[in-house]
Amino acid sequence: MKSARLLAASLMLAFSVPAWAEPPADIGDSVEALRQKIGAVGVSIAIVEDGRTTLARGWGVRKLGESAPVDAETIFQTGSTGKAMTAAALAVLVDQGKIAWDDPVIKHMPWFRMYDPWVTREITIRDLLVHRSGLGLGQGDLMFVPRTYLTRKQTVERVAFLKPKTSFRSAYAYDNILYAVAGQLIEEVTGQRWEDFIREHVLRAGGMKNATSDSEDRFRIPNRSWPHARLSGALRGLGPQQALDERDELGRNGAPAGGLALSADDMAAWLKIQLAHGALPGGGRLFSEEQAKQMWTPVTPMPITELPDSLKPAQPMQQAYALGWQVQDYRGHRIIQHSGGVFGSITRVVMIPDKNVGFAIMMNSEDSGMILGLTYELLDHYLGAPDYGWTTKWQDWFEARLAGGVEYLKQAKASPERVGPSLKPAGYAGRYRDPWYGDVVIADGAKGLTIDFTSTPHMAGRLKHWQYDSFVTEFDDPAIEPAYVTFALDADGKVTGVTMKPVSMIADFSWDYQDLDLKPVEDKK
């Protein structure tokens, strides 16, 4: 009798547990329907469960206007999800005994400097990865966004001129620039460029056969996705999709922060390694169990963004940054995840360790509402939660965010007092220098005032008067976020400095115009 009751209880338990051992049965149809509804160009998804790939496929096309389909081997630019791979490359060096996570950076790069000499002495390899250095959000990103003439070492040398926003280790602020430092450190320790070391010791060693670590390799692969964005509306995110110019959209100097391209097959291989704590499917290890633990251990507490009522279930109770990963809770489960974006492409990598499940979603457009909706639909599927309509709710949020940005621009355009400018165009012309970015040249010519960010290829255009001594950029490349450019004058009417800020209130933080402090210099050319 007792054994019969136990058997009955076991059967009830078995049938009451949600069937999460496979992807949603209708995922193919639902993703394609959503893609067409929103107008996304291409989508690729990889899912790994219990050490096996249960989905690796694509929907849509690689480039708008062409018929080549997205498939499991199509590579996508994956942005900041690559931070975890830079951390893994460092973990390989820790296992080899060449570095330790808490080594001072200057032990391996004696020439490296932060703005504060004390921080220079104290900052460790771990600190490079966890966003607690004192730098501001995205500070210094214009050294490689959208592209650059600078080498990685030149970029790292200029970190010394980035004045911190907070004290060292006192606050979280996401940055990319210190991952460039981490990439340079790998080169200093190994003698190999970050691109070559990570290709050999992480990508190929981990079975990621399609993945690339530099733009030359990516451009040589026919089966690659092109970036797309909506640029013809009032602000970025509105209007029809258009393919972006396939230049190196993230300067190579910043590639350790997010310069990798991977396919769904590659992402499946990466997820298997992560969920196996560094073990390789065919035997051996990419990195040790100890380093796997280090990379998932929370270090820097992150502030929690208040979400609207419709999205409240997605708001974590706790979240923190580890080594290249964000750790948070969702419906009582620990989630290891990271998002990524380079202009025209977005990615999300998510793991539920206690379910031994991970998935990655990659898109060659900037439709954030769709990728977030799919993320939470998959999370709920594997956690056995009821349908919450996440795709609709996140898309509504995304559209409301864009609407708010448009309203802000309408108010801004309605409010300027059309006074000024104080000087004739020639009075604003000159070479201006910021200690960390370099030179910005403003010239007076047949087209009026022009602006040229000399460290950044193809970042040039006209200056249109806004109000007083402020102008607005009209860049030749429409993918570059416009900026307000404001001149400060002394009592004699001479320009003493130039400051900037993004025009759009929802511009990506990497357009860190506000961090520039430009001063006039003698132009010897």
pLDDT in tens, 92-111: 999 999 999 999 999 999 99
Q: Residue 443 and residue 429: Cα distance in Å, rounded? A: 5
* 48-61 residues labelled b (16+ CB within 10 A) or e (exposed): bbeeebebbbbbbb
Tell me the two tokens of residue 448.
Answer: 């009026």
Number of alpha helices (DSSP H) and beta strands (DSSP E) in the chain: 15, 20
| Closest to 131 in 3D by CA, of 289, 257, 291, 267 | 257
Strands (DSSP E) contained in 128-177 are none
Res. 14 pLDDT band, cuts 50 70 90 = very low
Q: Are 510 and 249 in contact (CB under 8 A)?
A: no
Q: Is 50 exceeded by the pLDDT of residue 447?
A: yes
Q: Which amino acid is at 515?
A: D
List the strands of the sheet with 430-434, edge to edge: 495-502, 483-489, 470-475, 460-467, 448-453, 438-445, 430-434, 519-521
Tell me what pLDDT residue 248 has.
Answer: 61
Q: Are 314 and 385 in contact (CB under 8 A)?
A: no
Res. 416 pLDDT band, cuts 50 70 90 = confident
How far the first Cα of the chain sits from its last, in Å, is: 97
Q: Is the pTM above the cut of 0.75?
A: yes
Q: Between 351 and 525, whose confidence is greater? A: 351
Q: Where are the alpha helices (DSSP H) in 96-135?
A: 105-108, 117-122, 125-129
Q: Are 404 and 493 in contact (CB under 8 A)?
A: no
Tell me what pLDDT residue 11 has.
Answer: 36
| Closest to 143 in 3D by CA, of 510, 524, 443, 523 | 510
Tell me what pLDDT residue 525 has.
Answer: 52
Res. 524 pLDDT band, cuts 50 70 90 = low
Q: State the average pLDDT for the chain.
A: 94
Tell me what pLDDT residue 4 has.
Answer: 42
